[in-house]
Amino acid sequence: RSPAKPPGSCWAMLNHNPVPGLVETAAANRDYEPGFAAGMMLKDLKLAQDAAMRAGCSTPLGSEAAALFAMFCNAGNAGKDYSAIYRMIRGEV
């Protein structure tokens, strides 16, 4: 069953939902074969954190996301799709 598409819907959840079986074309249905690898997401999060630090800005959510992706990638998942972090958050990996 596909999620409904109400006003204000989230494109990422409608197209890259991390739950297998919800979006036919999502990486979750291909064992998280990367469309955008978790390692690349970590690289981008680190770049954003560096830019924020240079600008004197605090980004607590970005910092937490970078820490989670670092743990995920360091556990051998850097080559998986970024959406596979869902499995770590659920305690599946």
What element of type H or E holds 43? helix 38-54
Q: Average pLDDT of 64-70? A: 98
Backbone angles phi, psi at 50, to 5 degrees: -65, -45
Q: What is the pLDDT of residues 41-53, one digit of tens each?
A: 999 999 999 999 9
Where exactly are the structural domains of the chain?
Answer: 11-89
What fold does the segment set 11-89 form as a domain?
N-(1-d-carboxylethyl)-l-norvaline Dehydrogenase; domain 2 (1.10.1040)
Q: Which two tokens stand for residue 82?
A: 């970024």
Q: What is the pLDDT of residues 16-47, one digit of tens each?
A: 899 999 999 999 999 999 999 999 999 999 99
Give percent of the chain with pLDDT exceeding 70: 92
Query: What's the mean pLDDT when you consider all of the chain?
Result: 92
pLDDT for residue 93: 79
